[in-house]
Chains A and B, each alone.
Chain A
Amino acid sequence: MIGLAMAGKSPWGNNSGDGTGNGTGNGDGTGDATPPRPSADKPDKPKGPRNPWLPPSDEPRRSASIEDIFKNRGPEGPRRTGGGGGGGPNFRLPQRPGGKSWFPIGIAAIALVWLAVSSIHFVQPREQGVVTWLGGKYARTLNSGTNFTFPWPIQSVAVENVSTIRSETIGNSGENLILTGDQNLVDLSYIVRWNIKNLVNYRFELVEPQETMTEVAESAMRAAVAETSLDTILSGAGREQVETRVRRRMQDILDAYGAGIAVQGVEIARTEAPEQVIEAFNDVLAARQDAERNLNDARRYEQQMLAQAQGSAAEFNEIYEQYRLAPEVTRRRLYYETMEAVLSKTDKTIVEADGVTPYLPLPEVRRRAQGQQAQTPPAAAPAGGQ
């Protein structure tokens, strides 16, 4: 390629080393600015492949093509070279004293810009950069701030955000069933937060550091859950323990790999019973409510019983106090009061002679009488007690 360029553009053989392919394109444009050139240029035109998009003998279009070419060089191209003389469709570079070409100046400017762009690096506060020599040999690590390196092909820089904590959610899509230690299944999703702690290791040690981290997380989480029972995880009691265990185990494994990743935290986002059995789990909750309700009923009964007993006991005690002061009178009074109340509400028959009862005609009366016999003795008892 270089050889061909030199062969085609003998006038600038010394420059073509820098300009390579584009140098020939420029050569056509600037060639028109210098009077002696056209004759030398003309024979070039038919060699179409050099730049076939350039129409022959069309001055304005040609000069416009210079701009196009500079534009194509990159973002800095038009600005720097445009400084030589403004834009415009019929733009023509002014003559340089001595009738020399602007071309070397342009190349030098571009080289300067390129030098600046590829050797000065502004590394943002959370970032670090890895500098590699031509060919990928590790040179050094750039910390945040303004850094200088050799220009691009010699040294290249890859900047990466290291201290921002990234998070990875695992098991978020659909059901993520994990076997627990008591051979049950739990639906679990969790978040791993991590950042890069050693950028060099992160870049050079593992083929796929991020994927490795996810796999390690999954392996560690499943191992930790397998050491715990379903209830501990579901109730949230063992959650923290699982989280710290997973974090520690992940860090150990990743360190063993030299992954350059720091695991900042593992948080369990969702623990649920599998969808298939969630009814049964809800029933357990319902059972707890049922049991609680039963206990409440019993406690209410207890309070009632106790209150009633205390009330009755207190009532008796009061009366008994009075009775002790005047036993006979109180007893009589109570007796008469009761009898009064009882007998005033009932039909009374007083029978003089014994043996009349069988002759009472109504079976109704007889039935009552029979009932009466069972009740009369206690009524008589206190009287008999006297």
Chain B
Amino acid sequence: MERIWQTHRLTILALAALAFVLMSSMIVVPETQQAVIIRTGEPDRVINRFKPDEPFGKTGAGLALRIPLAERVQMVDRRIQDLDMEGETVLSNDQQRLEVNAYARFRIYDPIQFVKSAGTEDQLRSQLEPILTSVLRQELGRRTFASLLTPERGDAMLNIREALDRQARQYGAQILDVRIKRADLPEGTPLQAAFTRMQSDRQEEAETIRAGGRRDAQIIRAEAEANAAKTYADAFNKDPEFYDFYRAMQSYRTTFESGTGDSSIIMSPDNDYLRQFRGRR
């Protein structure tokens, strides 16, 4: 053992040095990253560059070589990343305010361009975010408040995506999608106004329902009375003269017999009731 070291010292040291050089010249590119090789400050080539139709496993990820010391590697994410926009108040063209929360999805498709112009993902985000905000403001400010809520919005989003994409291409990134995540009424007066309007809407609805109920009830009552009248008329109209007599009899009974308060009747002996009183025929 000792002898191996003694006799092959140089070989061993050379092998170790070789291993060291090999290790420092080998880089590992995961499937999710693109590696930009920067030679003395200038981006030289890209390993595992994104191409839309390449299936995973055939993309060039894995081991790659670089020249140690002279070449530096910067990893650039290959996946779809998100650009989140904080809530921004947007003014529609009918002067209504809307709090909009949007996001964009992008992918860095040209890592060299990206490394030259933006450098890091965070920097790219901070460059794109104000652009997204201003494009969004511009585009939504051209529409009415109501149309911001409708599906027509899709068309606005397309315009925003295109405008943002144009800017992002300068950084080697491609905007895949821009979407409004939330569109809310701003806290405070607009929200309160909406609540008040909802309240009055409901009050109106409640009142309408109550009035409708009253109307329908009245109609039912009127119909009932009409039906009753018809029933009466059908029966009584068979002999109006007899009805008059019959009803008069009923009426007398109701008035005198079961009516409250005492009544006195002063009759002349000529009264028909007293006809027999006198023995007349």
Q: CB within 8 Å of B: which residues of A? A: 2-3, 6, 10-14, 132-140, 177, 179-181, 183-185, 200, 203-208, 211-212, 215-216, 218-219, 222-223, 226-227, 253, 256-258, 273-274, 276-277, 279-281, 283-284, 286-288, 290-295, 297-299, 301-303, 305-306, 308-310, 312-314, 316-317, 319-320, 323, 327, 331, 334-335, 337-339, 341-343, 345-352, 354, 357, 365, 368-369, 371-372, 375-376, 378-386
Distance (Å) between the CB of A365 and the closest chain B CB? 7
Complex CA gap A379/B194 in Å reads 72
30 contacts between A and B (CB under 8 A): A2-B16, A11-B1, A136-B30, A140-B57, A177-B184, A183-B149, A183-B194, A184-B198, A185-B194, A207-B82, A212-B82, A222-B182, A226-B149, A257-B177, A277-B195, A280-B201, A280-B206, A283-B206, A284-B202, A313-B234, A313-B236, A320-B246, A338-B253, A347-B264, A350-B267, A369-B266, A380-B271, A382-B245, A385-B245, A386-B272
Mask: chain B, 248-269; 1 = CB below 8 Å from A; 0 = not? 1101110111000011111111
Complex CA gap A97/B70 in Å reads 54
Which of A134, A200, A309, A320 is within 8 Å of B228, CB to CB?
Answer: A309
Q: Contact between B257 and A342 (Cβ–Cβ < 8 Å)? A: yes
Nearest 7 Cβ contacts at the A-B interface: A291-B213, A383-B272, A136-B30, A135-B28, A137-B62, A298-B217, A302-B224
Q: Contact between A383 and B266 (Cβ–Cβ < 8 Å)? A: no
Chain B residues lying within 8 Å of A357, measured Cβ to Cβ, are 266
Mask: chain B, 26-41; 1 = CB below 8 Å from A; 0 = not? 0011111100000000
Chain B residues lying within 8 Å of A180, measured Cβ to Cβ, are 149
Q: CB within 8 Å of A: which residues of B? A: 1-2, 4-5, 12-13, 16, 19, 28-33, 56-57, 59, 61-63, 77, 79-82, 103, 105, 145-146, 149-151, 153, 176-177, 179-185, 194-195, 198-199, 201-203, 205-207, 209-210, 212-214, 216-221, 223-225, 227-229, 231-232, 234-236, 238-239, 242-243, 245-246, 248-249, 251-253, 255-257, 262-269, 271-275
Which of A138, A223, A302 is within 8 Å of B223, CB to CB?
Answer: A302
B3 closest partner in A (C-beta) = A10
Chain A residues lying within 8 Å of B251, measured Cβ to Cβ, are 378
Most chain B beta carbons < 10 A, residue from A13, A135, A375 = A135
Complex CA gap A193/B4 in Å reads 65
Q: Contact between A334 and B246 (Cβ–Cβ < 8 Å)? A: yes
Q: Contact between A281 and B150 (Cβ–Cβ < 8 Å)? A: no
Q: Contact between A284 and B206 (Cβ–Cβ < 8 Å)? A: yes
Chain A residues lying within 8 Å of B272, measured Cβ to Cβ, are 380, 382-384, 386
A296 closest partner in B (C-beta) = B217
B103 closest partner in A (C-beta) = A215
Chain B residues lying within 8 Å of A11, measured Cβ to Cβ, are 1-2
Which of A258, A310, A312, A348 is within 8 Å of B264, CB to CB?
Answer: A348
Complex CA gap A319/B239 in Å reads 12
B250 closest partner in A (C-beta) = A338
Complex CA gap A179/B184 in Å reads 7
Q: Contact between B179 and A219 (Cβ–Cβ < 8 Å)? A: yes
Q: Contact between A181 and B150 (Cβ–Cβ < 8 Å)? A: yes
Complex CA gap A266/B183 in Å reads 21
- Assuming the A-B contacts A181-B150, A351-B268, are A378 and B248 also in contact, with contact meaning beta carbons closer than 8 angstroms in the complex? yes
Complex CA gap A258/B176 in Å reads 11
Q: Contact between A335 and B62 (Cβ–Cβ < 8 Å)? A: no
Complex CA gap A134/B221 in Å reads 89
Q: Contact between B235 and A301 (Cβ–Cβ < 8 Å)? A: no
Which of A10, A134, A305 is within 8 Å of B227, CB to CB?
Answer: A305
Q: Contact between B177 and A372 (Cβ–Cβ < 8 Å)? A: no
- Assuming the A-B contacts A347-B264, A348-B265, A383-B273, are A287 and B57 also in contact, with contact meaning beta carbons closer than 8 angstroms in the complex? no
A365 closest partner in B (C-beta) = B264
Which of A10, A216, A283 is within 8 Å of B202, CB to CB?
Answer: A283
